[in-house]
Each structure stands twice: as structure tokens, then as C-alpha cells.
Structure 1
């Protein structure tokens, strides 16, 4: 659409929160779910193998966190789409492997390791994997789309219409 003479086009960019704000939000939402997950894994592991309980908790927490990250961490103003869920699942798979390998190595090094040691190793591996996930999510999965030109005569969504639709 060409601008009318004397009219200028504005650029609509999907500006999200800065890196520090989004990291704090990531720690609060993703970290909070991660800490809750770290208690859920050993509880489930009482009734099934640890790796299976870790996989179940990882899947459920990834779905929840992807929605939280879309809406809160990176402030997309909408829930996550299928693309974001699949890409987030890829980074969660890497986190799952990191936590599983870390606990497996713990048991190789110290076969009699109990729940407190497992918890410590699991949380440490989760923290490192979480930092990597933050970078992947911020730089790739939820990265802003290229800005597009908006013609001044194009219809704009008013705040009242947006709130009414929510």
C-alpha cells in the first residue's frame, strides 16, 4: 500500500521487554515451574522409573512454561502457537537430556546417592539448562518478527476493542 501524498507511514514493531526484564520474568515463571517440577519428579519416581517421571514432568512443564513465556516472559500479547510449542519442545528436550544425564552420572559416581543429592544435582543441571533455554527462546523462538509498514489510513485496533475481545 502506497502512502498518500503528505502522509507518512509508521513502522509497527513488536517490541517486547528488554533482556534483563525478560530474564527476570523467565526466572520467575520458568524457574517457579522448574522448582515445582523438581518436587514432582521424585514423587512420581516412587511409582515409576526416574527417567519416566522426569519425561512426564518435562512434557507437562514445557507446555505450561511455553504459554507463560509467550504471555508473560516475552509479552507477545497472545498464547504460544504450534511453532513456538515445537521449538520450545526442542530446547526442553535438550534440558531433559541434561538433567537425566546429570542424575545418571551422579548414580555412576555415587551409587548410594539419595533424594537430597539427586535434588541438588537435578536443580543444578536444570539451572544450567534453563540459562541455555532462555537464550534459545529469546533469540530464536520468541524473537520479534521483522517490522512492517503500516499506512496511516489503515484501521487501528483501539484499546477498548482489544479489551472487549479478550
Structure 2
């Protein structure tokens, strides 16, 4: 059994479907949570709290189900069943991909407003959703190929060996 995961990782298509379903589900739940919390807290604070919680939740769901990363080795007695399977590195990298997706969608809408001072709601939503789809695909690839990739799946590091090659010995052939 692989020490990094308990189950083999699903294929790319299955992972992508799971990514869309789980990420979309967390997004919908987050939208409702922000609306409820905004009644009790300032919107910016409610949005920040929900963003942190939803990013941690989505990262854990993606580790467990989307990419079947299983339990990460934590060394010694710390290994075992835990509520959180991802370590801080995974959460920070995932948060980085979410921040990049936020930047892409925000930039797309800002550029739209520079190009068209008063775009209609349909145009604005089309630009936003297209940017979200592009950012989502980028986030999926970053999570699959880097954040949750096992050591075998990640590219082997390139090393440069500067030692001189041993001298070649010519093969001697004899006629029989």
C-alpha cells in the first residue's frame, strides 16, 4: 500500500467532475452562509470568515474525494485518523490557488468596465462566469498536478552531474 494514499487516485475526468460538484456545493453553501452572517456582522467580516472556512472545507473535500489523496504521512505518533488530512502546506497552496482565481475574476470584470463603462448585467455575468471557468480549470490543474500529486506523479527533479564520465573502453573483437 502506498504510504501517501490509501486508494488509487481517480482519473482526470472523474476528478474534474468531483472538483466541480464539491467545489460548487461549497460555493453555494458559502453564498448562503455569507447572507446569513451578514445579518449579524459587517459584510466584509462575514465574507472573510466564510471564505476562510469554505477554503479549508473545500481543500479537505478535494483531498479526500476529488483527488483521493488519503491521509498524508505526518510521521511517528501523529499519523492516523484525523479530522484534517491536509497539512498547513496543502491548505496554504490551496488558498493560493483560490486567491489567484479571485484575482482572475476580479481583473476580468475590471477590464470589462474599462472597455465598456456601463456593461449590461448579462455581459458582466458572461465575463465573470467565463473568467470563473478559466480560473476553475487552472485551479483544478494546480491542485491535481502540484498540491495533491503524490511524489510519483510529480515530475522528478532535474539534477546536473558535473563529474567527469568514466573513460570508455573499446570492445575488442576477435575473429574466430
Normalising to structure 1: TM-score of the pair?
Answer: 0.62
Match of 1:152 in 2: none
CA distance in 2, matches of 1:123, 1:97: 13
Q: Does residue 24 of structure 1 match 2:17? A: yes
Q: Secondary structure at the match of 2:69?
A: coil
Please list, as runs of the form range in 1=range in 2, the aligned pairs for 1:69-148 lying within 5 A after superposition.
Answer: 69-78=62-71, 79-146=85-152
1:139 to partner: Cα distance: 0.8
Superposed CA deviations along residues 125-160 of structure 1, whole A, max 9, x for unmatched, are: 11101101111101110012459xxxxxxxxxxxxx
Higher helix content, 1 or 2: 1
CA contact (8 A) 1:25 1:72 kept: yes
For residues 82 and 141 of structure 1, do their structure 2 counterparts lie closer, same or farther at Cα, with a shift above 3 Å needed?
same
Structure 1 gaps of 5+ residues are 1-10, 148-166
Q: Which consecutive unaligned segments of at least 5 residues does structure 2 have? A: 72-84, 154-176
Supply the RMSD in Å over aligned alpha carbons.
3.3
Q: Give, in whole Å, the separation in 2 of the partners of 1:114 and 1:120.
A: 10
When residues 36 and 125 of structure 1 are mapped into structure 2, their CA distance, relative to the original with a 3 A threshold, is: farther
CA contact (8 A) 1:38 1:123 kept: no
Distance 1:25 1:39 in 2: 21
Shift of 1:73: 0.6
Residue 31 of structure 1 and its aligned partner are, at CA, apart by 3.4
> Residues of 2 paired with 1:117 and 1:61: CA distance?
28
- Inter-partner Cα distance in structure 2 for 1:101 and 1:136: 20
Q: Which residue pairs with 1:156 in the alignment?
A: none
Name the SS of the counterpart of 1:12 in structure 2.
coil
Highest RCO, 1 vs 2 (Cα 8 Å, sep ≥ 6): 1
Structure with larger Rg: 2
